[in-house]
Structure 1
Amino acid sequence: MSGPYTLALLPGDGVGVEVVAQARRVLEAVAHHDRIDLRFDEIPGGAQYFLEHGHDWPEDAERRCADADAILLGAIGWPSSDGHGTAMRPDGKMAGWSAIVGNRIGLDLYANIRPVKLLPGVRHLISGTHKQVWSPENVDMVFIRENTEDLYSGSGGILAPGGDAQVAIDTRIITRRSTERIIRLAFETALKRGGAPTDGKRRVTCVVKDNILHGCRMFVRIFEELGAEYPTVQREVVLVDAFTQWLVRRPEQYDVVVAPNMFGDIITELASALQGGMGMSVGCNVGTRHGMFEPIHGSAPKHVGRNRVNPIATVLAAAEALRWLSARHSDGSLSSAGDRIEAAVRTVVSKGQTLTYDLVGPEVAASTSAVTTAIIDELELVHP
């Protein structure tokens, strides 16, 4: 028996509750079959919790997240009570901030890692239809985004003389320490991969706006300094506006992509369309000692309670959590379990018989729970 390991579950808001419940089903199945002592600590919280209780989550939630071996997050965010925009806290932060941004900062989850891979049988969304298929081997890259500073640092505010907002300021913060560790992680990641699909060469692409922004100029200088230590890895610097075009036109060019926080957030949303949409897209927030894993989609209020959203991103996030734990604890059973979950997902997707509306359209769509059951059935066919 391997373990014990404790996974903190933060279902959050809306469909986050539904997809985390489905990922837990998969985790329980693989833990049973692979003899892993996996324990769960489910923590309520989020914007809906804030609207009801006046705070983001229970008083001991921060400690419980820190004590867990890994965290699985659903989705955070909910409409405000008056129906105008997103629910906000009195301090100007989004309701539920503690579970997502607070954990990133408090646990020093400095890297947001997003694998972008098109699985066989999944249709990309660039055309806006479900009719075009992009060759899967052309889309296989990893985005590594700085995760704790930039415009997300919270430095700034609103000047409102007489209560009337007149000036809004958001200060962009780029530090050498955070830049160095995110860029080094990008090069180390490239060394572990097989290179870009187009030519098999290990390559790190730095996405910035250094023709305009001082922070980006420093980011590039550090990129070149550290890149010199990795002579077997090619490096290139691309302006973010040009990159959005090239990402769509020639995804096979890219291997590892590194970017500051804000630009990284935007370009990874675009990249999700290459792999079939946000229902297939995973975000890994990791630091030296802690890791939090999530689907990158939102809480989708209009879909709540309809058993129709895609659980695959959350299931794959759970697989990433197991593999990350495996590396931290030198426990091969965890990486094996994570690989088996991904293999089961690949099989379900390639069969194309049990998929949600975002992948096959509403006419032949399966339910959220049916997709999860199909994944578990595939897991049970192959024993470790």
Structure 2
Amino acid sequence: MGSYSIAALPGDGIGPEITDVALRVLDRAAADLPALSVSVESHDAGAERWRRTGTAMTDETFQACEAADAILMGAIGLPDARHPDGREVNGDVIFRLRFALDLFAGIRPVRSLPGVPTALAGSAPVDYVVVRENVEGLYASRTGGTNVRGEVATDTIVITAKGTRKVAEMAFDLAERRNGRPLDGRRMVTCVDKANVLSSYAFFRSVFDEVADERRGVEREHVYVDAMTAFQVQRPDHFDVVVAENMFGDIISDLAAATVGGLGLAASADVGYEHGMFQPAHGSAPDIAGRDLANPAAMVLSTAMMLDWLARRHDDRAAAEAAARIDAATLRVLAKGEAVTPDLGGSASCSAMGDAIVAELAETA
């Protein structure tokens, strides 16, 4: 029997609303599978807590996240909750967990979804995954940059052979499990960099190629990041798995989400060898917080990713089944289009869309 403890961080803005939906969906899926047991403990972390206490996340909450089988995060941060140097305090939670727990790979799937109009003019199917190196790159210097007299500011990019190898290996592992790119079914890992300009990215590419040389059955290609943004719009069916440095991965994964319906549908996972954190790719949307208008799909799909990750780690068929059922129920609600939120052209509330997903799970129990 699979028994898992989950640390939930509902966070700020719409975070508590979408987390409530995700936990209801999780409870429903687990209730239908006697071999699956999931316990959830919620913790207070984020910008609102920082405003009240001066600390975004306590050591006790961090330790609870470290001890949990997985972390489920709603949305952390508010635009005006900032440190004196201008950085948003959300990094006190998100970056601390990523760096301290070595969540070195950001996994961002992007795919065409039934019933969801896209921003792309063409009809090519979209189904690829962006794998973002999460703990190095330009973001590694987020607290180590310099600002001299308000006149000169510098940050330093950090690329290591070990870190690049780890994320490249995870990208190839993922490609080996997938069905290849939509265009022709070829398994392919695309390295996105700026190796023609910066030595740090040329080094990233060289380590990627070392990993690619060790793999058989998965092809490789290289694309400069500026060209990648064009190709994501013009020929998205050419991609299967994409791997990139931290900042580039951040940018291209958001563009990827926009091409298939927006960040409200964008699930994500931050994973390492021992720990995993799952959260929607969007922010806290304080302008609609408390109005029951948020799209919970990304949060629910992230919950499915969490269960799938647990299933792979523990060879747990029940967790895998729960993940597949949550994913399928969410896609059915999107396809029907009757209980979707305003950002998807509907009039349903966040909670009502959650009710619809739960009802779909109940019908197929």
TM range (shorter): over 0.9
Cα distance, 1:91 vs structure 2: 7.0
The aligned residue for residue 139 of structure 2 is 152
Q: Given that residues 117 and 140 in structure 1 are in contact (C-alpha distance below 8 angstroms), is that contact kept between their aligned partners in structure 2?
A: yes
Does 1:379 pair with 2:361?
Answer: yes
Does 1:9 pair with 2:8?
Answer: yes
Q: Given that residues 126 and 273 in structure 1 are in contact (C-alpha distance below 8 angstroms), is that contact kept between their aligned partners in structure 2?
A: no
The aligned residue for residue 60 of structure 1 is 60
Gap regions ≥5 residues in structure 1: 81-86, 128-133
Gap regions ≥5 residues in structure 2: none
RMSD: 1.5
Does 1:179 pair with 2:161?
Answer: no
Distance 1:233 1:261 in 2: 23
Counterpart pick for 2:125 among 126, 133, 138: 138
The aligned residue for residue 49 of structure 1 is 49
The aligned residue for residue 117 of structure 1 is 111
Counterpart pick for 1:99 among 93, 99, 105: 93
Q: Secondary structure at the match of 2:183?
A: coil
Amino acid at match of 1:172: I
Q: Secondary structure at the match of 1:366?
A: coil
Distance 2:316 2:18 in 1: 27
- The count of corresponding residues between Structure 1 and Structure 2 is 363
Distance 1:233 1:158 in 2: 42
Does 1:306 pair with 2:296?
Answer: no
The aligned residue for residue 202 of structure 2 is 217
The CA deviation string for residues 59-101 of structure 1, in whole angstroms up to 9 with x for no partner, is 3011000011000111111133xxxxxx223576431323211
The aligned residue for residue 352 of structure 2 is 370
The CA deviation string for residues 12-55 of structure 1, in whole angstroms up to 9 with x for no partner, is 11011111111011011111111222111101111111011111
How many percent of aligned residue pairs carry the same amino acid? 44
Of 304-313 and 222-231, deviating more is: 222-231
Q: Given that residues 190 and 202 in structure 1 are in contact (C-alpha distance below 8 angstroms), is that contact kept between their aligned partners in structure 2?
A: yes
Distance 1:159 1:285 in 2: 30
Q: Provide TM-score, normalisation by structure 1.
A: 0.91
Q: Given that residues 323 and 334 in structure 1 are in contact (C-alpha distance below 8 angstroms), is that contact kept between their aligned partners in structure 2?
A: yes
Cα distance, 1:274 vs structure 2: 2.1
Does 1:282 pair with 2:267?
Answer: yes
The aligned residue for residue 77 of structure 1 is 77
Distance 2:49 2:32 in 1: 35
The aligned residue for residue 31 of structure 1 is 30
Cα distance, 1:231 vs structure 2: 3.1
Cα distance, 1:190 vs structure 2: 1.0
Distance 2:46 2:109 in 1: 26
The aligned residue for residue 131 of structure 1 is none
Distance 2:236 2:147 in 1: 43
Q: Given that residues 144 and 258 in structure 1 are in contact (C-alpha distance below 8 angstroms), is that contact kept between their aligned partners in structure 2?
A: yes
Q: Secondary structure at the match of 2:180?
A: coil
Amino acid at match of 2:323: G
Amino acid at match of 1:158: T
Q: Given that residues 323 and 335 in structure 1 are in contact (C-alpha distance below 8 angstroms), is that contact kept between their aligned partners in structure 2?
A: yes
The CA deviation string for residues 268-310 of structure 1, in whole angstroms up to 9 with x for no partner, is 0000012211011011100001000000100111011111110
Cα distance, 1:352 vs structure 2: 1.1
Q: Given that residues 2 and 319 in structure 2 are in contact (C-alpha distance below 8 angstroms), is that contact kept between their aligned partners in structure 1?
A: no
Q: Secondary structure at the match of 1:138?
A: coil
Amino acid at match of 1:145: R
Distance 2:90 2:129 in 1: 28
The CA deviation string for residues 129-179 of structure 1, in whole angstroms up to 9 with x for no partner, is xxxxx64x7100011110001111126333344xxx111111110100000
Q: Given that residues 309 and 356 in structure 1 are in contact (C-alpha distance below 8 angstroms), is that contact kept between their aligned partners in structure 2?
A: yes
Q: Provide TM-score, normalisation by structure 2.
A: 0.96
Counterpart pick for 2:154 among 169, 172, 188: 169
